[in-house]
Amino acid sequence: MTYYNQYEQMEFGAFPHQNNLMDVLWERSALKHVAKVKTPTMFMHGENDSDIPIAETEQYYIALKDVGVETIMVRYPREGHGLRETRHIVDSIDRCIACYVKHFPDTNTGTRSSTGR
């Protein structure tokens, strides 16, 4: 809902304030349905992302916290839409592995996976 620019006009043929587009956008908004979410979630976002404003990630992160979903948000300085700095790439991989190990049990033993760093 925060991404208000030419995209909506190109995609839907109108701006959000025209016709009933705001109703359509709200119906499709993840924020509207956040109370149904149960899945632990990790957000990784470049602070300089010009495609998706970081405010959208922040909104959804806060909404998930408000409804009690386990969630974390990682902000990468100097990054845009995708990570480029080696340390950020390594950090994101480490965080993904840790998240996987935490949330997906080893089906052979019934315990948490021992893979990871």
Describe the chain by its helix, strand, coil percentages, rounded to 5.
40, 15, 45
111 three-class SS:
coil
Q: What is the pTM of this model?
A: 0.77
Q: How confident is the model at residue 109 (pLDDT cuts 50, 70, 90)?
A: low
pLDDT tens per residue, range 29-38: 899 999 999 9
38 backbone dihedrals φ, ψ, rounded to 5°: -125, -15
pLDDT tens per residue, range 53-102: 899 899 999 999 999 999 999 999 999 999 999 999 999 999 999 999 99
pLDDT of residue 105: 77
Closest CA to 60 of 39, 102, 81, 32: 32
| 7: enclosing H helix or E strand | helix 6-12
pLDDT of residue 52: 85
User: How far lies 88's CA from each of 12, 15, 74, 77, 84, in Å?
Assistant: 35, 36, 10, 9, 7
Q: Show the domains of the chain with their CATH numbers.
A: 1-32 (no CATH), 37-117 (3.40.50.1820)
